[in-house]
Amino acid sequence: MKISCFSLKPVKVFVCLLLVCATLGVMLGVTSCESIYFGYQARKVPIYSVDTTEKKVALTFDAAWGADKTSKIIEILKEEDVSGTFFLVGFWSEKFADKIKEIDEAGLDIGTHSNTHPKMSTLSEEKMTEELEKSMELIKNVTNKDVKFFRPPYGDYNDQVVSCAEKLGLKTIQWDVDSLDWKGLSSDQILSRVKASVKCGSIILFHNNSDNILEALPNVIKYLKAEGYKMVKLSDLVYEDNYVIDNNGLQKKK
C-alpha cells in the first residue's frame, strides 16, 4: 500500500516538504529551498566583511563635508606604516582635487561615495548611473586610475543599486565595524566600538572630518597592532574574483 508523505509523522512531513522545495529550487533556478518554503527572496548584498584567517582589516574614511583633517589622517597612516581607503562624494572631489592627489600619492585606495550623496535606492537606474559615473570621472581625472569600489550614502541600497554598480565594474562596500565617529563620540568611545566588533576581515567605518578622528585614529591603530592586525586598503582585503557573498555580507572565496 502506498503511503502519502502527509500521513507520516510531522518530522517526516517536514523532510518531504524540504525535498519538494529542493526540487522546485532546481527547476526555478533558486539556490536554496528555504527561499521557496519560507518565502525568502534572493537578493544582492554588498560586501560588509571578508572571510579570511589572516589578521587584516580595512580602515575606510568617507569624505563628504570638509577636508581640514584629511592631510593629517594621511600623515598618521604614513607614520604608522598602515594603509586605508577613502570614499569620496563628487561635490567634495570638485572642491578638493588637491586632496585627491594627496590621497592617491600616498598609495591609498579611492572609491566613490556617489556624486551628490542621495539615497541611491530612491533613484531611477539612469540617475544611479549618473551619480556613479560623474563621481568616478572626477576621481579618475586626478588619479588616472579606474575606481573599483562604491559605498552607498547612508548605507542605503537595494538590488538595483548593487546591480548598477556591478555594471560599472564597482564592488559595493559596506562595513561591519561602525565607529559612529560622526556622532561626536570621544576618542575612547570610538576605540571601544572598534574593540567590541573587530575581527579578521573587518571593514571599519570612519569619516574624514569627524570631531575626534585625529585623536581616535592613532589609538585605534595602536590597539589593532597590539592585537596582531594588519591594516590594509580594500584592494588588499577583498577578493577580486571567484567569490560569493552570503546573506550577512560576508565575502567568501569559492
Say how far apart CA 56 and CA 247 lie, in whole Å: 22
Out of 113, 117, 181, 207, the active site residue is 207
Residues 62, 111: Cα–Cα separation, whole Å = 9
- How far is it, in rounded angstroms, from Cα 91 to Cα 108? 20
> Is 117 labeled as catalytic in the residue annotation?
no
Q: Is 246 a catalytic residue?
A: no
Provide the 10 A C-beta neighbour count for residue 11: 8
Q: Kindly name the residue from 62, 109, 176, 181 that is annotated as catalytic.
A: 62
Beta-carbon contacts of residue 136 (< 8 Å; ≥ 6 apart): 112, 146, 147, 168, 170
C-alpha span between 229 and 55 (Å, rounded): 5
CB distance 209 to 63 below 8 Å: yes
Query: Residue 79, Cβ neighbours under 10 Å: how many?
Result: 10
Separation of alpha carbons 128 and 126, rounded Å: 5
Q: Count other C-beta atoms under 10 Å from residue 64's C-beta.
A: 19
Task: Report, as residue numbers or ranges, the catalytic residues.
Answer: 62, 207
